[in-house]
Amino acid sequence: MIAINKKTILSDLHDRIEVVKNNIQPFLKLQPQQLHWKPAPDKWSIAEIFEHVNITHAIYLKYINTALTDAPIQARETFKSNLLGKWAYDIIMPRQDGSVFKLRAPKFLHADTIQLDGQQVLSSFMKQLEDFDHILELARYVDLQKIKIPFSFTKILKLRLGDNLRFIVAHNERHLLQAQKVLAILPTG
């Protein structure tokens, strides 16, 4: 694996999160019934998509915040991904053509649709993106390679902090793309 400058990777992740934030704006204008509309019975609504991301964020942000609080200041200026981190990033990242590797989210990462408030879901998502910006700022002062973060579905597998940050951004991009596809076919009227 190739070593990447820490400032470069963190700047790239920040820029990509800004793109996600900017692309959320059309969803904020939707009515509740539009946020809950499903393209098919076995497909997620826009609200369910973003709630899935919120659930995932909550898990990762908790682990990352704890790790950052406990981490010593470290001057290492490069980050090198490992095989697990590269695999996790490559599998979750949307491809250039907009397609994605099909994955099924574990049930515990699914939205509870009974009490789902679409506007609240989007508000929480935006708040978590702000929290992630803060994490990227703090990550400038720690070793992205040395800190390990558990994968959401198991504490046995751990990703390096740098790989975990890349995974989270790719996960956001993946589900933003999914939500945009639902938005594109929303019935009008």
The pLDDT value given to residue 152: 66
Residue-range domain boundaries for the chain? 3-184
The per-residue pLDDT for 182 is: 97
**With respect to CATH, is domain 3-184 assigned 1.10.3720.10?**
no
Q: Are 89 and 81 in contact (CB under 8 A)?
A: yes
pTM recorded for the entire structure = 0.92
**Residue 3, strand partner residues:** 80
CA angle in degrees (0–180, nearest 5) for 24-28-32: 130
pLDDT of residue 153: 65
Radius of gyration (C-alpha) of the chain in whole angstroms: 17
Q: What is the 3-state secondary structure (H, E, C) of 41-83?
A: CCCCCHHHHHHHHHHHHHHHHHHHHHHHHHCCCCCCCEEECCH
Give per-10-residue mean pLDDT for the chain (189 aa): 91 98 96 95 95 94 92 89 93 87 72 84 97 96 94 82 96 97 90
pLDDT, residue 108, reads 60
Q: What is residue 110's predicted lDDT score, i.e. its pLDDT?
A: 67
What is the C-alpha end-to-end distance of the chain, expressed in Å?
51
| pLDDT recorded at residue 75 | 74
**pLDDT value at residue 151:** 81
Beta bridge partners of 160: 148
